[in-house]
Amino acid sequence: MSSLYLTQLHIDQPRLMRFAADQGLLRHSDEGFGYILHAWMKALFGNLAPKPFRFFERNHQVLGYGCGDQSVLSEQAQRFASPMAYQALVLDSLATKPMPLGWPKGKQLQMEVLACPVTRKDQEEKDVYLHAVERLGDAAPPRAEVYRQWFLRQVGPAAEVRDLQLLGYGRRHLLRRAEVPGGERRLRSVERPEALFLARIEIHDGEAFQRLLERGVGRHRAFGFGMVLLRPAG
């Protein structure tokens, strides 16, 4: 089982915006800075960039999971990051901690996830609720119930969900690269759903749960969705 680290860092937001402008990323709407943060952390840490991650705008903080500890990430940034990307990192804020390598069956935890509840078919991505309406018409469950059922499928065999709350949902404009005629990939803003879940779980399969942490929940995990935040169950 591979080592997994929880990474915490703070951003100098004005300098992050200068980095984004230099990269041509401010011409499109990117609510939550998902693509901007993805590009910035890639410029800082390369393939060691935390993913999945979550951005907390109130204190300009990023939390994410990755395979590099603090010394490895610092060395990568110091050696290879561009000066503009490097200056957007609050240097003394970078910290990591190793996550447990084993999760015992029966362990109860609380998990919070900001997710993007979409389904993908034939290269088309769609809100799972709209997909349910297309299939079931007036018989489709309410949006909140569709989102809850989607979340239960994502957790799958890793854990039993004992209690699940949908704390809120809405829409967000994400910046993504999309293929245009001629095979070129260009940046464009797309609208996608977001939903915040809080669940009390009991672990059934420790290795599957470890994979869930490493991978995250749902799609757009490299852009600020899907990170599992853990708390004690009590």
**79: CATH:** 3.30.70
Q: Are residues 118 and 226 in the same domain?
A: yes
Domain boundary among 98, 131, 164: 98
> Residue 34's pLDDT band (boundaries 50, 70, 90)?
very high
Mean pLDDT computed over every residue of the chain: 92
Write out pLDDT tens, residues 138-189: 999 999 999 999 999 999 899 999 999 999 999 998 888 766 556 566 788 8
**Cβ atoms within 10 Å, residue 188:** 13
Can you give the residue range of the structural domain that contains 88?
5-98
- Domain presence at residue 103: no
Q: Are residues 114 and 73 in the same domain?
A: no
Worst-scoring range by mean pLDDT, 29-43, 140-154, 215-229? Answer: 29-43
Q: Are residues 225 and 120 in the same domain?
A: yes
Q: Are residues 60 and 172 in the same domain?
A: no
Whole-angstrom distance, CA of residue 173 vs CA of residue 143: 19
Q: Are residues 10 and 61 in the same domain?
A: yes
- Domain presence at residue 81: yes
**What string of H, E and C letters represents the secondary structure of the chain?**
CCCCEEEEEEECHHHHHHHHHHCCCCCCCCCCCHHHHHHHHHHHHHHHCCCCEEEECCCCEEEEEECCCHHHHHHHHHHHCCHHHHHCECHHHCEEEECCCCCCCCCEEEEEEEECCEEEECCEEEEHHHHHHHHHHHHCCCHHHHHHHHHHHHHHHHEEEEEEEEEEEEEEEEEEEEECCCCCEEEEEEEEEEEEEEEEEEECCHHHHHHHHHHCCCCCHHHCCCCEEEEECC
- pLDDT at position 22 is 93
Q: Are residues 112 and 226 in the same domain?
A: yes
Q: Are residues 115 and 228 in the same domain?
A: yes
Write out pLDDT tens, residues 115-127: 999 998 777 899 9
Q: Are residues 117 and 82 in the same domain?
A: no
- Domain presence at residue 52: yes
Domain boundary among 52, 71, 98: 98
- Domain presence at residue 35: yes
Domain boundary among 73, 98, 123: 98
User: What is the number of domains present in the chain?
Assistant: 2
Q: Are residues 137 and 161 in the same domain?
A: yes
